[in-house]
Amino acid sequence: MAPAESVASAAEAELPAMQGAIGGRLLDELWRASDAAGWGLERDDFDRILLEAGTQWNFGLTEGAAPTERQQAAFFRGLCLGDLVLARACAAGNERAWEHFIARCRQPLIRAAIAITGSETLGHDLADQLYAELYGLNTRDGERRCPLLSYRGRGSLMGWLRTTLAQRQVDHYRRNRREEPLEEIDAAAADPAPETPAAELSQLDRAIEDALRGRDAEERYLLAAYYLDEQTLLQIARVLGVHEATVSRKLKRATADTRKHVLRNLERGGLSRRAAEEAFGADPRDLNVNLKKLLQHSHARAFKEQAAP
Amino acid sequence: MSVKNQHEIHPDAEVLSAFAEQVLGERERGEVLEHLAGCGRCRQVVALAREAAGAEVAARRHAPVRPRVWFRSWGLALAPVAAIAASAVVAISVHERNVERSAEVAKVEQQQLDEKAPIPSQAAPQTPAQAAPPTASPAEKPAPTERTGTARRAPVDGPDETAAAPPSEAANAPLASREELAESHDGEAHGSMGGGSTLSGNSADEKKESEVASYDEERDKEAEAEMETRDKHHFAAKRKTAPGEHEPGGSNSGSGAAGSGNSGSGAGGSSEQAAAIDQQLETQPAPATSGGGLMKFRHGAFSGIRAPNPVHLPSGLPTISIAHASERMIAIDNAGTVFLSEDSGATWEPVTTQWTGRAVLVRKKTLPQPEAAAPPAAKAESPGGTSGSGAVSESDTVFELLNDQGQVWWSAEGKIWVARRI
C-alpha cells in the first residue's frame, strides 16, 4: 500500500540504527501479543511500525535521551498495539480489517460526532467526512492519504478518532465564527471614563501579568478553562482525570494565590495595602491585560519539536 | 494562522487523546498541560473529545447494556431467592402430601368406624352368651369381630361379640383393619378384643406413625396377602364341601373356647380352621364407598376375593358381597342390589329392598343359645332350631345385611329383612 510505504520510507533512515537497539525477544513478544499476522501484516512491517512509533516519541523520553531496553519495553507495552495494528491494516487496505473497523468503530464514531456537534445532522456529516478520509479518498501528490497512518498507538484508536473529530469541529467553528452575521449583536455603549487613575491601572496591569506568569501550567490551565472557556468543574475534572472537588480546591487556591501575588506586586509598586485592595475594584474593562497572551506564553516552546516537516 | 501553522504548534490528535486518557508520562503530560493553558483551541478539542467519550459511555450504559446490567445486578440476588422458593415449594408439597395422607387415613378411620358401629350393639345381646357355657361357634369369631379393632396375633380367649370396642378405641380401626385383613386371609383364627383392646390402646401418635410412614409398604403387603389368601380360600372352599362339615357335634359343636384349634371338644384343629375359613368365605367384607386412594386400593384388593367361585347375577354386575347357608345364597352386586338363590347360585332372584341406603355387605351370622337376641323373623323362620347348649345349628343362622351407613338388617331366609336396632 502506498501510504504505508511512504511513511516507511520517511523513517527509513532512522530505523536501521534503532532496529539493532530493540531486543529481538521484545519484538517477538509484541508480535505475538498484537496478533498482527491475523491482519495480514508482515513481521518486517510490524517492526518498522514499532520503530517508527518509538522514534517519533523517543520512547517517551526527553529529546536526545538514550532509552534503555527496559524503557523501550515500557514504552511499547504502553501502546495500544491491537489498535495500532488494526489502523495500519486498514490503511494498508486489508478488507477484513476494514470490516472489523466498521463493526467496531462506525457507530461510536457517529455517536461521538453527534455529541461533539450537538446536532444529529451535523454529526452525521462530520462522521461521514472523516470516514471518507479514513478510507483514503483524499489524495496528495497522486497518493491516497489515510489519516490512520498518523495514529501510532498512544491512547486508544477510538479516543484518537474522537479527538480528530473534535479538532475538525473546533477548526470548522473557528473558521466560520467570523462569518456569523452581526445583526443581532447590540452595539456596545461608549465606555465611560475610568474611575481609577491611569497610574494605578497601569500598575495593576503589570501586577497581574507578573502574577499570572508565576503560575504553573496546571494552575494556568485551570484559570483559563474556568474563567476564559467557562468550562464547568466537571468538564475540567474529566479532562484532568481528577474529581471535580479537586478541581474546585485547586482553582480556589490558584485564585487566592494570584490575588495575593497581585496585591504584593501592587504594594511593591508603592501602593498602600488599602489602595492596593481598592485597585481590585477597578473595572476590568479599563485594564489593558490580554489574559490569552499571558496564558499562551509557553505553548510554542512546548510543542515546536512536534511540528510536522 | 493557517491550518498548517496550527499543526506546527498544536499537539496532534493522538497526543491530546493520550492526554485525556491519562496515558502520557509526567513530562509529556506537563508539556501538554502547558500548551493547553494557553491554547483555547486545544482546550476546546480536549473538552469536546471528553464529552463525546462520556456520551459514548452513557449510550453504552443506557441502551444495549441495560438488560445485561439488570440481569447481572439481579442475578446474584435471584439465586438465593430461587433456592428459597424451591425449598418452599418442596416443603409445601411435602406438607400437602402429609395432610392429604392424614385426611385419607382419617377417612378410612371414619369409614371403619361407620362399619363397626353396629357391631358393638351386636355384642350386647351376646353378652349373656358369654357368661353362659360356651356355645359360640368357633367359626363366628374371626372375621366379623376383628373388624371392631382386634389386633392381630391376639389370643382368642373370648367370643367375638365382646370385642365391641368403645368409640375411642375404634380410632385404631384402620391399622387393625389392614393388619386384620392381611392376617385373616391367612386362614388363622384371630383373637378377641381382650388382647385386641390392649394392643389397640396404642397412642394416636403411634398409630399415625405406623399408618403414614408404612403406608406404601403395607399396601404392597396387603396386596400380596390378598393374593395368597385368595389362593388359600380356593383351597379351603374346596375342603369346605367335604362331608361331615355341618354335622352336629362335629366341628360346629366345639366348646366355648372358640378359635383355638386345640380347645374344641371333639373337634380337630383342622376342622375348626376350616370352619373359620368357611366363615370368612361366607362373609366377604364390603368395599367402602369412599375413602380415597386407600379405599380404592382396598376395593381393588377385595374385588379379587369377592367370591371363590364366580357368581353370575341377573344384573350382570360384579358381586361385591356374598354369603350362603346350605343351599341358600345371598349376594350383592356393586349397584347395591341384593339377590337370593335357593339352589346354590344356580338361579337368582332380586330381593325387594327393605332397608335404607345401599347394601354393601351380607354375611352369615350364627346366633348362640339362648336365642334371646334373635330377631323375631329369625325365630319365626327357624322354629326347629338347634337347642343344644352351646351347639350351633343351621336354624341358628341368620343373614346380616349392612348398608353403607353401617345399619344392620337381619333375615333368616333372605326375603324378609328386619332392621337390627342398636
Q: Can you tell me the distance from the alpha carbon of B54 to that of B46, in angstroms, rounded to the nearest whole number?
A: 12
Q: Can you tell me the distance from the alpha carbon of B259 to that of B269, in angstroms, rounded to the nearest whole number?
A: 9
Taking the CA of residue B28 and the nearest CA in chain A, the distance in Å comes to 7
Residue A65 has pLDDT above 60, yes or no: yes
Residues of chain B neighbouring A156 (CB-CB closer than 8 A): 17, 21
pLDDT, residue B22, reads 87
Q: Is A308–B8 a contact, with Cβ atoms under 8 angstroms apart?
A: yes
pLDDT, residue A286, reads 66
- Render pLDDT for B100-120 as a digit per residue (tens, 0 to 9): 888 888 888 888 777 765 554
Give mean pLDDT, residues B210-229. Answer: 56
b (16+ CB within 10 A) / e for A96-119: ebbebbeeebeebbbbbbbbbbee
pLDDT, residue A233, reads 92
- Among A171-185, B16-30, B330-344, where is mean pLDDT lowest? A171-185
Taking the CA of residue B64 and the nearest CA in chain A, the distance in Å comes to 13
Q: In this predicted model, which residue has the larger pLDDT, B290 or B399?
A: B399
Taking the CA of residue A40 and the nearest CA in chain B, the distance in Å comes to 24
Q: Can you tell me the distance from the alpha carbon of B28 to that of B15, in angstroms, rounded to the nearest whole number?
A: 9
Percent share of chain B, pLDDT over 90: 4
Q: In this predicted model, which residue has the larger pLDDT, B129 or B411?
A: B411
Q: Is B25–A174 a contact, with Cβ atoms under 8 angstroms apart?
A: no
Instruction: Establish if B230 belongs to a structural domain.
Output: yes
Q: Is B50–A220 a contact, with Cβ atoms under 8 angstroms apart?
A: no
B117 within 8 A of B140, measured Cβ to Cβ: no
In 3D space, the residue among A104, A96, A106, A86 whose CA is nearest the CA of residue A146 turns out to be: A86
Give mean pLDDT, residues A226-243. Answer: 89
Residues of chain B neighbouring A306 (CB-CB closer than 8 A): 11-12, 15
A296 touches chain B (CB under 8 A): yes
Q: What residue of A is the nearest CA neighbor of B31?
A: A302
The three-class DSSP label of residue A142 is coil
Taking the CA of residue A173 and the nearest CA in chain B, the distance in Å comes to 10
Q: How far is CA A137 from CA A84, A222, B28, B401, in A?
A: 21, 40, 33, 110
Taking the domains of chain A in order of start, what are their residue ranges? 2-57+67-173, 198-306
Give mean pLDDT, residues B216-223. Answer: 58
B45 closest CB neighbour out of A62, A111, A163 = A163
Residue A241 has pLDDT above 80, yes or no: yes
Let me know whether B352 and B216 are in one domain.
yes
Highest mean pLDDT among A211-215, B160-164, B217-221: A211-215
Q: Is B34–A217 a contact, with Cβ atoms under 8 angstroms apart?
A: yes
Under the banding of pLDDT at 50, 70 and 90, the label for residue B230 is: low
Let me know whether B107 and B231 are in one domain.
yes
Percent share of chain B, pLDDT over 70: 41
Percent share of chain A, pLDDT over 70: 75
Let me know whether B42 and B177 are in one domain.
no
Residue A249 has pLDDT above 90, yes or no: yes
Instruction: Establish if B363 belongs to a structural domain.
Output: yes
In 3D space, the residue among A99, A165, A86, A170 whose CA is nearest the CA of residue A128 turns out to be: A165
Q: Can you tell me the distance from the alpha carbon of B50 to that of A273, in angstroms, rounded to the nearest whole number?
A: 44
Count of helices and strands (H, E) across chain B: 14, 8
B276 within 8 A of B187, measured Cβ to Cβ: yes
User: What ranges in chain A are assigned the alpha helix state H?
Assistant: 2-10, 15-19, 24-34, 43-57, 69-77, 81-91, 95-117, 120-134, 157-176, 198-213, 217-223, 233-240, 244-268, 273-279, 291-295, 299-303
The three-class DSSP label of residue A288 is coil
pLDDT, residue B229, reads 57
B41 touches chain A (CB under 8 A): yes
pLDDT, residue B108, reads 81
Angle (CA) B116-B121-B122 rounded to 5° is 85
Residues of chain A neighbouring B54 (CB-CB closer than 8 A): 115, 238
Q: What residue of A is the nearest CA neighbor of B5?
A: A307
Q: Can you tell me the distance from the alpha carbon of A204 to that of A210, in angstroms, rounded to the nearest whole number?
A: 10
N residues, chain B? 422
Write out the three cell numbers for B169: 378405641
First and final CA of chain B: distance in angstroms?
126
Let me know whether B7 and B115 are in one domain.
no
Taking the CA of residue B88 and the nearest CA in chain A, the distance in Å comes to 47
Residues of chain B neighbouring A74 (CB-CB closer than 8 A): none
Let me know whether B201 and B277 are in one domain.
yes
Highest mean pLDDT among A277-281, B210-214, B249-253, B313-317: B313-317
B280 within 8 A of B229, measured Cβ to Cβ: no
Give mean pLDDT, residues B28-43. Answer: 87
A221 touches chain B (CB under 8 A): yes
Under the banding of pLDDT at 50, 70 and 90, the label for residue A183 is: low
The residue range of the domain holding B253 is 96-420
What average pLDDT does chain A have? 78
Residues of chain A neighbouring B51 (CB-CB closer than 8 A): 115-116, 235, 238
Best to test chain A binding among B10, B27, B42, B45 (most A CBs inside 10 Å): B45
Q: How far is CA A69 from CA A18, A54, A74, A100, B179, in A?
A: 11, 12, 9, 33, 94
Q: Which of residues 308-347 of B touch A (CB under 8 A)?
A: none
Highest mean pLDDT among A222-226, B272-276, B373-377: A222-226
Q: Is B54–A238 a contact, with Cβ atoms under 8 angstroms apart?
A: yes
Q: Can you tell me the distance from the alpha carbon of A287 to that of A198, in angstroms, rounded to the nearest whole number?
A: 10
- Render pLDDT for B293-348 as a digit per residue (tens, 0 to 9): 333 333 333 333 344 456 788 888 888 888 888 888 899 988 889 999 988 888 88
Residue B278 has pLDDT above 50, yes or no: no
Show the 3-state SS of B292-356: HHHHHHHHHHHHCCCCCCCCCCCCCCCEEEEEEECCEEEEEECCCCEEEECCCCCCCEECCCCCC
pLDDT, residue B285, reads 45
What average pLDDT does chain B have? 61
Q: Is A221–B54 a contact, with Cβ atoms under 8 angstroms apart?
A: no
The three-class DSSP label of residue B391 is coil
pLDDT, residue A297, reads 55
Instruction: Establish if B75 belongs to a structural domain.
Output: no
Residue B248 has pLDDT above 50, yes or no: no
Q: Is B7–A78 a contact, with Cβ atoms under 8 angstroms apart?
A: no
Taking the CA of residue A206 and the nearest CA in chain B, the distance in Å comes to 19
Residue B7 has pLDDT above 60, yes or no: no
pLDDT, residue B297, reads 35
B46 within 8 A of B16, measured Cβ to Cβ: yes
The three-class DSSP label of residue B166 is coil
B5 touches chain A (CB under 8 A): no
pLDDT, residue A208, reads 82
Q: In this predicted model, which residue has the larger pLDDT, A177 or B122?
A: A177
Strand partners, B410: B400, B418
Residues of chain A neighbouring B55 (CB-CB closer than 8 A): 111-112, 114-115
Write out the three cell numbers for A259: 490575588
**A200, A204, A205, A209: CA torsion to nearest 10:** 160
Sheet containing strand B408-411, strands side by side: B359-366, B397-403, B408-411, B418-420
Q: Which of residues 46-65 of B touch A (CB under 8 A)?
A: 46-56, 59
Let me know whether B272 and B162 are in one domain.
yes
pTM of the model as a whole: 0.46
Residue A132 has pLDDT above 90, yes or no: no
A271 within 8 A of B7, measured Cβ to Cβ: no
- Render pLDDT for B346-369 as a digit per residue (tens, 0 to 9): 888 899 888 888 888 888 887 765
Q: Is B55–A111 a contact, with Cβ atoms under 8 angstroms apart?
A: yes
Under the banding of pLDDT at 50, 70 and 90, the label for residue B374 is: very low
Under the banding of pLDDT at 50, 70 and 90, the label for residue B228 is: low
- Render pLDDT for B47-66 as a digit per residue (tens, 0 to 9): 999 888 888 777 777 665 55
Q: In this predicted model, which residue has the larger pLDDT, B409 or A139?
A: B409
Give mean pLDDT, residues A58-87. Answer: 85
Give mean pLDDT, residues B407-422. Answer: 83
Instruction: Establish if B73 belongs to a structural domain.
Output: no
- Render pLDDT for A186-209 as a digit per residue (tens, 0 to 9): 656 666 555 666 677 777 777 887
Q: What residue of A is the nearest CA neighbor of B35?
A: A299
B47 closest CB neighbour out of A154, A231, A297 = A231
Q: Which of residues 147-206 of A touch B (CB under 8 A)?
A: 150-152, 154-156, 158-160, 162-167, 169-171, 174
Looking at the predicted complex, does its ipTM rise above 0.90? no
B236 touches chain A (CB under 8 A): no
Give mean pLDDT, residues B122-145. Answer: 40
pLDDT, residue A181, reads 64
Give mean pLDDT, residues A120-143. Answer: 81
b (16+ CB within 10 A) / e for B328-344: bbbbbbbebbbbbbbee
Q: Can you tell me the distance from the alpha carbon of B298 to that of B340, in angstroms, rounded to the nearest whole number?
A: 26
Q: What residue of A is the nearest CA neighbor of B34?
A: A217
Let me know whether B209 and B338 are in one domain.
yes
Under the banding of pLDDT at 50, 70 and 90, the label for residue A143 is: confident
Q: Is B38–A171 a contact, with Cβ atoms under 8 angstroms apart?
A: no
Let me know whether B22 and B163 are in one domain.
no
In 3D space, the residue among A120, A11, A159 whose CA is nearest the CA of residue B52 turns out to be: A159
Q: In this predicted model, which residue has the larger pLDDT, B61 or B188?
A: B61
Give mean pLDDT, residues B232-258. Answer: 42
Question: What domain count does chain B have?
Answer: 2
